[in-house]
Chains A and B, each alone.
Chain A
Amino acid sequence: MLGDSRKAQEVFNTMLREAAVHAAQGELPKEPFWLFREARWRCLEASKTDLQPEPLEIEEHDITSRAASQVKQLEPVQLAIWIAAAPEPQRTALALFYLDEFNYLEILDIAELKLSTLSRCLSQGRRQLQAWLDAKHTGVPEA
């Protein structure tokens, strides 16, 4: 979400403290995803002062059969930074989806999105990532 491990660590620590305080006071919210929703908002807060992505027309390509092997050639940190640089709510959608911990209904709940929005974010995200991968592997300068 943040593309910055130091900030991520700070958000994580803050969330732990908050959960501990709630637990100590016996006021832990009953809804199952409050911690994740809260963490998301704190991430958004933490990245407010960062450079925001400009609203650009980003190239999109269809997903090809060689896409999986192209992904495997990436460095994990490169991918994390690519996702962190995506505009909201696409960034949240991609981060939650590729964590592979939640089903789509849970993602809709945590990110407070509609199905159509989540679908568009993921679909565009894939196609944009594919375009980026194609550009990297053909040596074309990145957009």
Chain B
Amino acid sequence: MRGLHLLRRRRALLNCAPISQDHLADRSMRAAVAREDGSDEFVNQQNFDRAVAELIRLVPIPPESAEWFLEKQAVRRPKWTWRRIVLNPAVLAVSIALVVIAGVFALQVVGRLNDFPGSATARKLLVLAGSARSVTLDPVTAEAGTLSDLFFMKHGLEHYDVPDEFTEFRTIGCRVFDDDESQRIAQIWVAEKRMQFFLFPAERDSKTGAVLAFPGWRYVHQEGWVGAVSEHNGVCFMAALKGREKDLEPYLSKAKE
């Protein structure tokens, strides 16, 4: 039904197809003419129309009327102003697309600027933190700083130390697991703001095997979670909580004091 309607409309448009290319008024007319261009029937129609229009131009006009039309257009077409160009739907669509592409590119560049060795693992662990439940951890009530010994003695994990800023936090539970790259990860859940700590091996140079160290604390963000990461003795520590950087800042500034 809709196909028949479209066919009729196209036929109607072709019957009104302009004699001059300047009068291709809109997209539907341009499309109809482009589709039919070159067909015998349409070529005959156009030749016929041109011949009639040429003859019409030769119809004598009384001189007193004719002088009004010398070198003048009967219809003044609106000029293309900047406003019209900018408000043109095609120009608008392309501009919006370019802005979106530029925005995505800028976000990626900013993201890269904040990257540091181990940031990819840290982001994956933030996703894990978002879906973790405390029941999946072994219940341990102690000070976070004391768990280094547990990790070393029970799991053989050397230098899995909680930094001084977080050693006094009371823990709810902890566990050690392997991630998808077979790295040993230690996860600690503390009572304070339902914060989670992660300890994982620092990234190493693929050729020399040397630890890719970085100074101080670095932030990562993922799915509404924020993590503060530091590296020490080839092990990265990340304190993660749901929120923003400013929620973590007070804990990190303790060390500076």
A34 at the interface (CB under 8 A from B): no
In the assembly, what is the distance between CA of A74 and CA of B64, in Å?
Answer: 26
Q: How far is the CB of A85 from chain B (nearest CB, A)?
A: 14
Interface pair B65/A12, CB less than 8 Å apart = yes
CB–CB A63/B41 < 8 A: yes
Which of A64, A67, A77, A103 has a CB less than 8 Å from the CB of B60?
A: A77
Q: Does A139 contact B (CB under 8 A)?
A: no
B45 — which chain A residues lie within 8 A by C-beta? 63, 126
Chain B contact surface mostly: helix
Chain B residue numbers with a CB within 8 Å of A68 are: 47-48, 50-51
Q: Determine if A71 and B48 form an interchain contact, defined as CB atoms under 8 angstroms apart.
A: yes
The closest CB in chain B to the CB of A115 belongs to B12
Q: Which residues of A contact B59 (CB under 8 A)?
A: 76-77, 79-80
CB of B91, distance to nearest CB on chain A (Å): 21
- A9's nearest neighbour on chain B, judged by CB, is B62
- Taking a contact as CB atoms closer than 8 A, the residue among B41, B51, B64, B68 that contacts A71 in the complex is B51
Q: Assign chain B's interface to a size class.
A: 35 or more
How would residues 113 to 128 of chain A score, 1 for a CB under 8 Å from any chain B CB and 0 otherwise?
Answer: 0011011101100100
Q: Interface with B: A40-48, A51-59, A104-112, which one?
A: A104-112
Give per-residue flags for B32-75: 1 if the beta carbon is below 8 A from chain A beta carbons, else 0.
00000000110111011111111111111110110010000111
Question: Number of A-B pairs whose CB atoms are under 8 Å?
Answer: 114
Q: Given A104-B18, A105-B25, A67–B44 Cβ distance below 8 Å?
A: yes
Given contacts A79-B59, A104-B18, contact A115 B47 (CB under 8 A): no
Complex interface: chain B residues within 8 A of A138 (CB) = none
Report whether A74 and B15 are in contact in the complex, using a CB–CB cutoff of 8 Å.
Answer: no
CB neighbors of A among B7-22 (8 A): 8-9, 11-13, 15-16, 18-20
Asked if residues B58 and A103 are in contact (CB atoms below 8 Å), the reply is: no
Residues in A whose Cβ lies below 8 Å from that of B73: 101
B residues in contact with A97, CB < 8 Å: 16, 19, 49
Contacting pair A103 B18 (CB below 8 A):
yes
Q: Does A26 contact B (CB under 8 A)?
A: no
Contact present for A101 and B13 (CB under 8 Å): no
Is B23 close to A, CB under 8 A? yes
Interface residues in chain B, defined as those with a beta carbon under 8 Å from any beta carbon in chain A: 8-9, 11-13, 15-16, 18-20, 23-26, 29, 40-41, 43-45, 47-62, 64-65, 68, 73-76
Could you name 29 residue pairs across A and B whose Cβ atoms are closer than 8 Å?
A: A8-B65, A64-B44, A65-B40, A67-B47, A67-B48, A67-B51, A71-B48, A71-B51, A71-B52, A74-B55, A76-B55, A76-B59, A79-B52, A79-B56, A98-B49, A99-B53, A100-B53, A100-B57, A101-B75, A102-B23, A103-B23, A105-B25, A106-B25, A119-B12, A119-B13, A119-B15, A119-B16, A126-B45, A126-B48
